[in-house]
Structure 1
Amino acid sequence: MKPVRTAARAMLASIFVAGGIRVLLNPDASAATARRVTDRVGPLLEKVDPRIPTDARSLVRIKAVSDVAAGLALATGHFTRPAAALLAAGLVPATVAAGRQDALRNLGLLGGLLLAAVDTEGRPGLRYRTSHAVDRSQRSMRRAVRSAKRDARIAAMSASAARRLPG
């Protein structure tokens, strides 16, 4: 399953790496499309921190850099779950900005990214491991209590028997 998973991640990441590089080389083409979203988000970003760039060209370049970095991380198998989550989060405003023309394609990409974001590669997830660790520790504690009670009974019987012996 590992070769299939590796190939699928590389194929999924390739569109983001290639698209990010294309936008970095020519950000003005994408900035015009992104203005639908950046004009609404810009005032909110200014309220959060005035140092954050709010113009469409800068925001498109920031997204392109994050797409390339996260795409490379996903393709190489490093930080795959956070990288997929970052790409999925960036895909939502891109879909809104692009409108109907890329909506279905982006919806398919979003589905693949969501699968990659929750993929544990066949290993149990954190929730499973935590709940099972709690169960194991509770069982271990119950065994220890039973063992301590049994040892206490044996010690009490030994002490009682020792008192009855002469001498």
Structure 2
Amino acid sequence: MTPVRSLARAMLSGIFVVSGYRNFRNPDRLAPTAQPVTDKVAPILQKAHPRIPTDTETLIRLNSAVQVTAGLMLATGRFSRPAALVLAGTLVPVTIAGHPFWNNDDPVARNNNQVHVLKNLGLFGGLLLAAADTGGKPGLRWRTGHRIGHSRRSVRRAVRTARREARIAVRSASTARRLPG
């Protein structure tokens, strides 16, 4: 991994590790803001799996733990592509719950929340780039196509070899019939 990639991943993941840690330790400060979103998500989670906790503070803690874990994975380069996608997924509820500028009547608060939404969109874009970054190595699509091409060539070679051997066997059999015996 190049130094630029390492530095960029560490810088991108920093906000998730720090804010995830803070929010994990103190979820009650976010609970009133997150409550409207968690109330809408709770029934879906209950349908998906009845044992998933649906109280607001626990959901904040879960999201925070995921952010810390995936942020550290991104920063260290371990499973960085899936970690970037997971972090992008955690941004969606955070942005909707934390910065609903569409509900603000105060122009200053509305502007402040719009700036935060744009910042989160920028982070989302950076995470998508990190998720697509193969680190200079061929991506899965190329490797799959290359493997398929290699397999096709191998099959063609095997078919040509089998035809050649069949022709040789036919010639040998016809020569063997002609010889007195």
Q: Which of the five TM-score ranges fits, normalised by the shorter chain?
A: 0.7 to 0.9
Q: In the alignment, which residue of structure 1 is the partner of 2:94?
A: 94
Q: In the alignment, which residue of structure 1 is the partner of 2:83?
A: 83
Q: Which SS does the other structure have where 1:4 is aligned? A: helix
Q: In the alignment, which residue of structure 2 is the partner of 1:132?
A: 146
Matched, 1:148 2:169: no
CA 44–145 in structure 1, closer or farther in 2 if over 3 Å, else same = closer
Which residue type is aligned with residue 45 of structure 1? L
Gaps of 5+ in 2: 102-112
Structure 1 residue 142 displacement after superposition: 1.1
Matched, 1:43 2:43: yes
Q: Which SS does the other structure have where 2:78 is aligned? A: coil
Structure 1 residue 23 displacement after superposition: 0.9
Gaps of 5+ in 1: none
Aligned mates of 1:71, 1:80 — CA distance in 2: 9
TM-score of the pair, normalised by structure 1: 0.88
CA 53–148 in structure 1, closer or farther in 2 if over 3 Å, else same = closer
Please give the root-mean-square deviation of Cα atoms over the aligned residues, in Å: 2.0
Which residue type is aligned with residue 25 of structure 2? L
Matches within 5 A, 1:7-46: 7-46=7-46
Aligned mates of 1:166, 1:60 — CA distance in 2: 92
Structure 1 residue 36 displacement after superposition: 2.5
- Seq. identity, %: 60
Aligned mates of 1:148, 1:43 — CA distance in 2: 61
Q: In the alignment, which residue of structure 2 is the partner of 1:63?
A: 63
Which residue type is aligned with residue 130 of structure 2? A
TM-score of the pair, normalised by structure 2: 0.82
Query: For structure 1, which segment, 61-70 or 128-137, has the greater mean C-alpha deviation from structure 2 after superposition?
Result: 128-137
Q: In the alignment, which residue of structure 1 is the partner of 2:131?
A: 117
Q: How many residues align?
A: 167
Aligned mates of 2:178, 2:45 — CA distance in 1: 85
Matched, 1:74 2:74: yes
Structure 1 residue 20 displacement after superposition: 0.7
Which residue type is aligned with residue 65 of structure 1? A
Aligned mates of 1:139, 1:49 — CA distance in 2: 47
